[in-house]
Chains A and B, each alone.
Chain A
């Protein structure tokens, strides 16, 4: 899994600005945003809806260019960033015409890797992603949680050392969400990627993160950078601890203040 992995493991944004032209008006989505994710770090980005989180991820992965400001990979300006980091968009976006196994090997297939080897690897990871026995199923027949895990496995199999996850659990019920958080932490612990995870759920942010960035409403800038000193591995009962509560208060007040 590690040999063919794209090596980018540190991401840094410096003073990133981005505006969109909507009906002739200029709409500033990002207003000089700075952010950093170190190697193997789990960074969570939290902010109100519409503050530019998805735009930020689009810029990092190279789907968009900032109007000004720099995106650095491992400390260097990279001209063509596309394809260098893994990206999981807000929707699961499984291809409805492909069975689960064919869906998750999309990344290796696009980079022209041997599909036999990719299949074998995918097959070996299916149990970890809770998809064993469903490799021949079409996505429409899966539950929401399973679809999300399949989308995550597909992102994993792209073999990028850094991954951007845009509200991956946003559409799930609370219970499934808890399970998948726990499970994502286990997977991350095992493969040690750099993760930038977007959410608008405060509990989720604290529970997962090494560090949380709080974004302001549009135009998005970083209002607060908060280290989460909770011990790893994280346990569900930590959510009720006083330390967790204090962190939550701090995040909520940053989110709530104008």
Chain B
């Protein structure tokens, strides 16, 4: 205790100085996070309050528009039901996303192989995105049954496109001077691809992947609407048919929450995988 106070009083002392510095940087980081997230959080709280107040003051019936609090209560009461439905939707989302990444990366590589392939495949990709999913989903059920597969295909179909486009663009945008440098060093095509184009395209891939994430959960829900025995989509349909509007909203809230959490997870992953992309001068200066 005494020595601790001594330490603090002499801040020239190395250990205490670095501990103080650590605390300071933590504080600073906290402040920065607060500055970044406080405004949107405040806005959300404000909107929810307005919603809560309006439904309360105007005495809006629950089946027409439940208040945020009623939604929370409904969600909590239905948690035994919501759990398995959510898990089912998550499974479809993850498998679909995985498929989208595999197919998306594969197509990006194919497009990248030659300008002819690019010109041939690109229009088909764009066309694939103009097919109305709601019209396609029933067909998928006819073809593949009521199991998980049609939902996975819907998710993959809405998610692969941003991955292909952004990854292909990233691969194509490699600095020609960098490629010249490697060739001058005697590098072959494979080395240029692996050492320049792939790492250079990673940030673009993540951009596409993040867009795909925001589509994915909704994709699974839409896949379920058309026909499923389990999943948030079918839970919404059933609740809606029974005028359990608060449950519909609870399911919507879970859907958004899943998307947001997955998005945040990918952002963290991106920071871990691409530290260089976030290493900027000012960060170094801050550490000094």
Contacts and interface: CB of A to CB of B under 8 A. Distances in A.
B186 A97 contact: no
A92 B184 CA distance: 14
6 contacts: A89-B184, A93-B177, A95-B196, A97-B200, A109-B195, A111-B186
Contact of A110 (B182, B277, B279): B182
A138 B186 CA distance: 24
Given A97-B274, A140-B281, A141-B284, A87 B184 contact: yes
A82 B178 CA distance: 15
Nearest to A80: B186
A110 B181 CA distance: 11
B276 A106 contact: no
A83 B180 CA distance: 11
B84 to A, nearest CB: 42
A95 B280 contact: no
B185 A93 contact: no
A110 B191 CA distance: 7
Interface string A35-62: 0000000000000000000000010011
Nearest to A58: B180
A232 to B, nearest CB: 29
Contacts of B187: 110
Contacts of B280: 140-141
A25 to B, nearest CB: 22
B195 A106 contact: yes
Given A89-B177, A93-B175, A61 B184 contact: yes
B4 interface: no
Interface string A80-112: 001100010111010111100000001101110
B186 A93 contact: no
B91 to A, nearest CB: 34
Nearest to A108: B185
A96 B195 CA distance: 11
A82 B175 CA distance: 19
Interface of B: 175, 177-178, 180-187, 191, 195-196, 199-200, 202, 274-277, 279-281, 283-284
A93 B179 CA distance: 10
A128 B182 CA distance: 24
Interface of A: 58, 61-63, 82-83, 87, 89-91, 93, 95-98, 106-107, 109-111, 137-138, 140-141, 158
Given A110-B187, A140-B280, A95 B180 contact: no
A84 B175 CA distance: 23
A118 B183 CA distance: 20
Given A93-B175, A110-B191, 14 more contacts: A82-B184, A87-B181, A87-B185, A90-B177, A93-B178, A96-B277, A97-B199, A97-B202, A110-B185, A137-B284, A138-B276, A141-B279, A141-B280, A141-B283
A63 B187 CA distance: 12
B199 A89 contact: no
A145 to B, nearest CB: 14
A87 B184 CA distance: 7
A100 to B, nearest CB: 11
Contact of A83 (B175, B185, B275): B185
B234 to A, nearest CB: 44
A141 B281 CA distance: 5
A89 B176 CA distance: 12
A89 B178 CA distance: 9
A79 B196 CA distance: 27
Contacts of A97: 199-200, 202, 274, 276-277
A140 B199 CA distance: 16
Given A93-B175, A95-B196, A97-B199, A138 B279 contact: yes
B207 to A, nearest CB: 16
A62 to B, nearest CB: 7
Nearest to B281: A141
Contacts of A106: 182, 185, 195
A189 to B, nearest CB: 25
Contacts of B202: 97
B183 A82 contact: yes
B186 A83 contact: yes
B184 A62 contact: yes
Nearest to B287: A141
Nearest to A57: B184
B191 to A, nearest CB: 6
Contacts of B182: 106, 110
B276 A98 contact: yes
Contacts of A93: 175, 177-178, 181
Contact of B183 (A63, A98, A111): A63
Pairs A-B, 4 closest by C-beta atoms: A83-B186, A138-B279, A87-B184, A97-B199
Contacts of B185: 83, 87, 106-107, 110-111, 158
